[in-house]
Structure 1
Amino acid sequence: MATTLPVKIEFSLPEGWQPAPPDEVGAPGVAFIALHSASREGFTANITIAGKMRDTIDLVAIGDESVQRLREAATVSVAHRTEVGTPEAPALTQTLRISTSLHGRLLDLVQSQVYLVMQDVHNPAEHAVIELVLTAKSTQIAQVEEDFKDFVRSLRPADSSAE
């Protein structure tokens, strides 16, 4: 079942990406998914957004949780991990190599994950962790990774004065 985000955000989708209903495309547990219409050769590259309130904001531990979840269904290795951002707005990026099967065929995927900490504007002591994920076949990643970077750069808290 699709979820909602604990904070309101705004973003821009790069050209060539189309939003889709998460439950209809097999992405339960995410609040948003966009599909890359030009990359349908056996797997459609996608961008997802999920998030939740967290008691702790240890982003490395959160990244490790993601790896463990994926390992329940696939072989996963962490290719790259970097803590970025500022002390006031920490973030973590990690790139995962995933080997799994889809419809009985071996599939090599790359997943770029970005974890952003966003402070609750109404209660600054509370924090949400927003998870932005690009998943693509290893042969597709070069054509979509710049789009993902543009997407991540476009993300911002929603204008609360518009409520």
Structure 2
Amino acid sequence: MATTLPVKIEFSLPEGWKPAPPDEVGAPGVAFVALHPESHDGFTANITIAGKFREDLADLVTLAEESVQRLSEAATVRVAKRDQGGTPEAPALTQTLRLSGRLRGLPLELVQSQVYLTMQDVHDPAKRAVLEFALTAKSSQLDAVQDDFKAFIRSIRPAHP
């Protein structure tokens, strides 16, 4: 079942990307999905947004490892790259994963670029929202969608009431 984000954000989808209902495209547990119909080549490149409140002190590397473990339940996962960034007030982590699995019985190799952002709850500093943004595509599709994902990430901002 699709979820809602713990904080309100605004963003711009690059041209050519279309929103899709998470439950209808097989992405339960995420709040938002965008598809890139032009990239269809046995797999449609997609961007997903998920998030939740965390009251523990897990750092972003731990959260990224949790994602690797979760994905490992459905595919073979290899961490290709991981970088930390952001600011002390809003830390960020990016990681690139190589996924090997099967889709409709056929072998499928995917690349997933993930970006994790955290935001402290202004009313309760012990709580923080962790947002996960992911681009999933075949290696052959990456050149066509990678810059779009970067533009999408740059467009993300807190929503103002």
Q: TM-score, normalised by structure 2?
A: 0.96
**CA apart distance, 1:56:** 2.1
d(CA) in 2 for partners of 1:119 and 1:14? Answer: 28
Q: Calculate percent identity across the aligned residue pairs.
A: 73
Q: Does 1:135 align with 2:147?
A: no
d(CA) in 2 for partners of 1:21 and 1:70? Answer: 21
Q: Does 1:45 align with 2:42?
A: no
Q: Structure 1 segments of 4 or more deviating over 4 A? A: none
- Give the aligned residue type for 1:88: E
Determine the structure 1 residue equivalent to 2:107: 106
d(CA) in 2 for partners of 1:66 and 1:59? Answer: 11
d(CA) in 2 for partners of 1:123 and 1:13? Answer: 31
**CA apart distance, 1:156:** 0.5
d(CA) in 2 for partners of 1:121 and 1:143? Answer: 38
d(CA) in 2 for partners of 1:132 and 1:28? Answer: 15
Q: Which runs of 5+ in 1 are unaligned?
A: none
Preserved CA contact (<8 Å) 1:57 1:129: no
SS in 2 for 1:139: helix
SS in 1 for 2:123: coil
How many residue pairs are counted as aligned between the two chains?
A: 160
**CA apart distance, 1:35:** 0.2
SS in 2 for 1:84: strand
SS in 1 for 2:143: helix
d(CA) in 2 for partners of 1:57 and 1:12? Answer: 29
**CA apart distance, 1:57:** 4.1
- Give the aligned residue type for 1:40: H
After superposition, residues 11-30 of structure 1 pair within 5 angstroms as: 11-30=11-30
Determine the structure 2 residue equivalent to 1:92: 93
Preserved CA contact (<8 Å) 1:57 1:117: no
- Give the aligned residue type for 2:27: A
d(CA) in 2 for partners of 1:125 and 1:108? Answer: 39
**CA apart distance, 1:124:** 3.8
d(CA) in 1 for partners of 2:125 and 2:137? Answer: 35
d(CA) in 2 for partners of 1:121 and 1:133? Answer: 26
CA RMSD of aligned residues (A): 1.0
Preserved CA contact (<8 Å) 1:109 1:137: yes
